[in-house]
Structure 1
Amino acid sequence: MDRKLNALFLFIAVVVFITAANTTQQWNILLGVLLATLFSLAAFAFRGLSLDGMFSAIVIGTFVFGLGGWELAVVLLLFFLSSVVISDRSKRREENISQSVRRDGLQVWANGFWLVTFVVSATVFNAPIFLVGAIAVIATATADTWATELGSRAPDSTYLITTFKQVKPGTDGGVSIKGTTAALFASVMIAAVSVYVFSLDFSVFILIFGAAVLGCIIDSYLGALFQQNKRSVTLSIINIEIDFSNNLVNAISTGIGGLLAIISKLFLA
């Protein structure tokens, strides 16, 4: 699936490049390809990304660097670097968890699909409001990552969000004071930096922060409702059963976070 998304958005990038309004925009896209490739290669070299994850990050980074500008690139890099810093790799090694610590292509797209969609929408429709949604996507992803990484280090204080029954740290849908606090700090950080680099009003800080927190809560709720109970949803019209994997839950929650920010901005306008 991640390779199909890579191919789809590479095609979109070519179309946007060809139909760009001016050569400056085309040069920005080419520069975006270069910078995204350099940062993704570095992440791969330092074992932050798998090979598929690297290619997915290059595609996503091309749109962010090329169309979102250096401001959005700074916000995205802040998410990535902070996530790497707080990543609890030592704990994973101690517990002999077999899965790689590298992020694969699907994990990258789970947090990046709506980010790219909103960036492309902002460019195609010349509607900066979609950039607010893109920022909220990053804020939601950062809040969820911090909550997961730091909350899983809180033994004997994690509770299922739907029933408040005490569960093992790291359980899907589990919340803790430490994890929730981390999510709040992450939301504040992304919102504050975004408002500064984009020179936005304080009201935008509030709505990005609020959207990120709500998106993170929705992520936990969906995790408890579907992942914890191993439930799936069947679309009767086309007879397809959908399993709610962690990647799908992340994609839904970041999308909701972005949409909440856009809708809130429309009401504030």
Structure 2
Amino acid sequence: MAWLIGFICALAVAGAAFYKNSLTLSGMCAAVIMGTVYYGAGNVFWFGTLLLFFITSTLLSKWKGRRKEELEKSYAKTGRRDAGQVMANGGLGMLVCLLNWIWPEPLWAYAFIGIMASVTADTWATEVGGLSRRPPRSVLTWKVLAPGTSGGVSWLGSAAAAAGACVIGAGAWLLLGAGGPQSGSFWIWLAAGGIGGLAGAFTDSVLGASLQRMYRCPVCGREVEVPVHCGVDTIPSRGLAFMNNDAVNLLSSLMGGLIAFIIGFIAS
């Protein structure tokens, strides 16, 4: 029955997101599978956290969308998520959910919150930071970068990342009574989400500034994530061939999950 409920709820949410152009068809299918697993193998704690990430991130992606249109041309992924982006953001959390189903352990929940806080922090930083009136700076060299450049950080984006991470941590504590592990104070869960999420977002910026595959547009000269820009093929400029945006998201969320797991282990 839990798996059926999860499927129906996931289909309703993903279908609405597809109708609102927040998900592609492949993204909707991936979201239905993911939501079913989160509820079937988990419970309201796991599914509710996934919804908290998805709904807040979707709303932010629509906020002042016209001002972000030019920046999105430089991104490998836009506000409309495909299956790859859905899995990069929630796939690792789904794996942890399944591990907890097979081998119940309260610490899995902390790792899960760190993972979801990381992807939330990264998404909030991108959506809000892109509206900053001040140009971003490289997280490694502190040089001024063009808006939308991977590895760039701003005070507005960093504040948004911290807020998003803390929202996931606070949400975890609120969902404790709905199937979550019955342990840990509000401050422990806030720390797991806040610190884990910021660690993941920082890792994302570092990887974006160093190992992520980037291209140079021969028309406008900008460094972008996409192989086509300004209507022409771009030229590889740096990074590893396999280190695309999805790989960066996966590795950064893994770091956030690890930090939150350690916080939960120390607290227990």
TM-score, normalization by structure 2: 0.82
Measure, in 2, the Cα distance between the counterparts of 1:207 and 1:38: 30
Alpha carbons 1:156, 1:168 under 8 Å: kept: no
Matched, 1:215 2:209: no
Per residue, is there more helix in 1 or in 2? Answer: 1
Q: Flag the structure with more relative contact order, 1 or 2, with Cα contacts below 8 A and sequence separation at least 6.
A: 2
Look up the match of 1:50: 24
Q: CA deviation at 1:255?
A: 1.4
Look up the match of 1:205: 190
Look up the match of 1:230: 238
Look up the match of 1:15: none
- CA offsets 1:128-181 (integer angstroms, 9 cap, x no match): 221221122111111000101111111333100000000011110000000000
Q: CA deviation at 1:267?
A: 2.7
Look up the match of 1:86: 60
Matched, 1:187 2:165: yes
Aligned length: 234
Mark the CA change 1:135 to 1:163 in structure 2 (over 3 Å): closer, same or farther.
same
Measure, in 1, the Cα distance between the counterparts of 2:100 and 2:167: 23
Look up the match of 1:125: 103
Q: RMSD value over aligned CA atoms? A: 1.9
Measure, in 1, the Cα distance between the counterparts of 2:246 and 2:72: 22
Matched, 1:33 2:11: no
- CA offsets 1:94-145 (integer angstroms, 9 cap, x no match): 6784976421110001111110110001110011221221122111111000
Look up the match of 1:261: 260
Could you list the runs of 5+ residues in structure 2 that have no partner in the other structure?
178-183, 215-236
> Counterpart of 1:31 in structure 2: which amino acid?
I
Residue of 31, 36, 39 corresponding to 1:65: 39
Q: Percent identity?
A: 32
- CA offsets 1:73-105 (integer angstroms, 9 cap, x no match): 222112111112111521244678497642111
> Counterpart of 1:175 in structure 2: which amino acid?
V
Look up the match of 1:148: 126
After TM superposition, the runs of 4+ consecutive aligned structure 1 residues lying more than 3 A away are: 92-101
Alpha carbons 2:211, 2:243 under 8 Å: kept: yes
Structural mapping, 1:14-25, within 5 Å: none
